[in-house]
C-alpha cells in the first residue's frame, strides 16, 4: 500500500534527514516515534506530498508520488490520502456540515450528507452539525479533524501528533476512534508522535526515528 526507499530530506547544509525504509499494507497501522526535531513532521509531509520529494522513493497504491507535481499531486491526495494536522483548522464562517461538504467538493466528489452524518455520529459530535466549529471543545475539534480526514474514504490516513492539544482522557478516546474507524474502512493509518506511551498499544508496528544530532 505504501513503501519508502532511501528517503532523505535536506532543509539546509546543516539539517539533512535520512529516514528508515518501511512498507505497510492496506488497512495496516504504524506509529512513527521519535524525539522533538528528529524529522517526524517532515516525514509525514513527504508522505502526504505536502513537501517536494528530493531524494528516494515513496510509492502509494502503486504510484510513485515523486512523479506527481502541483495539481496532479493535489488530485492524488484528494483521492487517496487523509491528513490530520497537529492543530485543527476549519473555516469558522462555515458550519460543521458545510466544512465537511466543502472537503468533499474540494476533492472532486459529490456532497454525501449520509456520509457526513455517519462520521459525525460515529465520532460523537453529530449535535454540532449545524454549528460553527468555533463552538466546539478542543477534543470535539480534534474529532472533527478525524471526520474531515476520513470524509473522502482515503486508503491512507496520516496523523501528526493528533493528541498534542488534548488531556490524557481525550487523547486516548481520539486515538481509539481513529484506530477503530481506520480498521472498519480498511484505511492504512500512520500516526506520528513523540508520546512513547502509545508504543505498547501499537504492538510492534513502530518506526523509531533517531535524534538528528
Ligand atoms: N522550514 C524549515 N527550515 C529549516 N529547517 C527546518 C524547517 N522545518 C524543520 N526544520 C528542521 O528539521 C528538523 C526536523 O523537523 P520536524 O519538524 O520534521 O521534526 P519533528 O520530529 O516533527 O519535531 P516536533 O516533534 O518538535 O514537532 C528539525 O531540526 C528542524 O529544526
Regarding the beta carbon of 39 and ligand 1, being less than 6 Å apart is answered yes
Summarize pLDDT for 56-111 with one digit per residue, the tens.
999 999 999 988 888 899 989 989 999 998 888 899 999 999 999 999 999 889 99
Global pTM value: 0.91
CATH code, 179: 3.40.50.300
Burial class (CB in 10 A: 0-12, 13-18, 19+), 13: exposed
Regarding the beta carbon of 189 and ligand 1, being less than 6 Å apart is answered no
CA of 209, closest atom in ligand 1? 21
- Evaluate whether residue 159 is within a structural domain: yes
Residue 195 pLDDT grade (very low, low, confident, very high; cuts 50, 70, 90): confident
What is the pLDDT, as a whole number, of residue 155? Answer: 95
Q: Which of 11, 19, 164 to mutate to test the pocket of ligand 1 (most atoms within 8 A of CB)?
A: 11
- Evaluate whether residue 174 is within a structural domain: yes
Coil, strand or helix at 198: helix
- Evaluate whether residue 213 is within a structural domain: no
Q: Residue 27 belongs to what domain range?
A: 2-208
- Evaluate whether residue 53 is within a structural domain: yes
Alpha carbon 39 to chain centroid, angstroms: 16
- Evaluate whether residue 105 is within a structural domain: yes
Coil, strand or helix at 139: helix
> How many other C-beta atoms lie within 10 A of the C-beta of residue 112?
15
Q: What is the ipTM of this complex?
A: 0.96
Coil, strand or helix at 102: helix
Alpha carbon 2 to chain centroid, angstroms: 14
Regarding the beta carbon of 173 and ligand 1, being less than 6 Å apart is answered no
* C-alpha cell of residue 204: 510492534
Regarding the beta carbon of 143 and ligand 1, being less than 6 Å apart is answered no
Q: How many domains does the chain have?
A: 1
- Evaluate whether residue 68 is within a structural domain: yes
What is the pLDDT, as a whole number, of residue 203? Answer: 76
- Give how far Cα 103 sits from Cα of 62, 110, 149, 165, 187, Å: 25, 10, 9, 23, 18
Summarize pLDDT for 145-190 with one digit per residue, the tens.
999 999 999 999 999 988 777 777 777 888 888 999 999 999 999 9
- Evaluate whether residue 89 is within a structural domain: yes
Summarize pLDDT for 13-43 with one digit per residue, the tens.
778 899 999 999 999 999 999 888 899 999 9
- Evaluate whether residue 78 is within a structural domain: yes
Amino acid at each position: 500500500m505504501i513503501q519508502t526507499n532511501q528517503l532523505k530530506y535536506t532543509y539546509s547544509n546543516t539539517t539533512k534527514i535520512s529516514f528508515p525504509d518501511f512498507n505497510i499494507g492496506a488497512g495496516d497501522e504504524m506509529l512513527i516515534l521519535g524525539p522533538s526535531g528528529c524529522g517526524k513532521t517532515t516525514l509525514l509531509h513527504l508522505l502526504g506530498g505536502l513537501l517536494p520529494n528530493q531524494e528516494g522513493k515513496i510509492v502509494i497504491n502503486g504510484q510513485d508520488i515523486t512523479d506527481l507535481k502541483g495539481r496532479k499531486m493535489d488530485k492524488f491526495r484528494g483521492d487517496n490520502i487523509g491528513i490530520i494536522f497537529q492543530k485543527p483548522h476549519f473555516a469558522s464562517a462555515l458550519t460543521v456540515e458545510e466544512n465537511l461538504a466543502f472537503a468533499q467538493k474540494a476533492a472532486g466528489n459529490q456532497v454525501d450528507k449520509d456520509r457526513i452524518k455517519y462520521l459525525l455520529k460515529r465520532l460523537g459530535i453529530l449535535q454540532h452539525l449545524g454549528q460553527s466549529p468555533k463552538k466546539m471543545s478542543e477534543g470535539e475539534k480534534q474529532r472533527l479533524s478525524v471526520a474531515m480526514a476520513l470524509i473522502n474514504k482515503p486508503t491512507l490516513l496520516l496523523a501528526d501528533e493528533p493528541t498534542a492539544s488534548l488531556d490524557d482522557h481525550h487523547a486516548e478516546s481520539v486515538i481509539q476512534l481513529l484506530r477503530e474507524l481506520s480498521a472498519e474502512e480498511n484505511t492504512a493509518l500512520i500516526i506520528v508522535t513523540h508520546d512513547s506511551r502509545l508504543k505498547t498499544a501499537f504492538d510492534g508496528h513502530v518506526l523509531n526515528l533517531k535524534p538528528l544530532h
